[in-house]
Structures are given as structure tokens and as C-alpha cells.
Amino acid sequence: MLTGSLLCSQSTEAFEPLGAFNQPVHRSHGQLRAALLNELGKPFADYFARPEADADGATIGWLAHQQGEARRWIDLPPEEQAQLDPARQR
């Protein structure tokens, strides 16, 4: 189910197959996010986009954990980067 803002969508042919927990890494999002939550906290884990594959697995959409306009980090002014920096939210 698609929730959160769509950051991008790509063909799975664009990816090199990698694995984690004996499955394709995009299917391990829950485990990887849990590790980030445990080790670094929610501010860091929320920057980890969630993959959502289509029914036939040919395309993966990458979703933010929140709704809103997606903007590149480097396009943000320094003051906003400082405000959003997850290291400062710990």
C-alpha cells in the first residue's frame, strides 16, 4: 500500500541484486528500519525511504515516511539543513 510521498520510481532492471536476511534487500526494509530505530532512533530511520514493488516486481517506488514535498538535501538552505539534521534531534 502506498503511503507517504513518492520520492521516485524505477525499473528493477536498474538495480544490482543484493540480499539481506536471505531475501532481496528491498524486501528487508522492516528489519533494516528496525535496526536503524534501535541503533540511531526515529529521526535517522525516517530518512530511510520505504520501497514498494508493483505487483509483478518490475518497478519499485521509494516512499518517504511522511507526506509532503520531497526536496533534495543539497537544495535546502543551511538553516533548514541544521533544523532537519537527525544528529541534532537525538
The residue assigned the cell 541534532 is: 88
Q: Which helix (H) or strand (E) holds 7?
A: strand 6-11
pLDDT at 89: 66
Q: Which three cell numbers stand for residue 6?
A: 513518492
Three-state secondary-structure class, residue 14: helix
Which residues of the chain are modeled with pLDDT < 50? none
pLDDT at 38: 95
How far is the first Cα of the chain from the last one, in angstroms, to the nearest whole number?
30
pTM (2 d.p.): 0.68
**Under 8 Å between Cβ of 4 and 64:** yes
pLDDT at 85: 84
**Under 8 Å between Cβ of 71 and 8:** no
The residue assigned the cell 524505477 is: 10
CA quadruple 31, 35, 36, 42: dihedral sign: positive
How many Cβ atoms sit within 10 Å of the Cβ of residue 60? Answer: 19
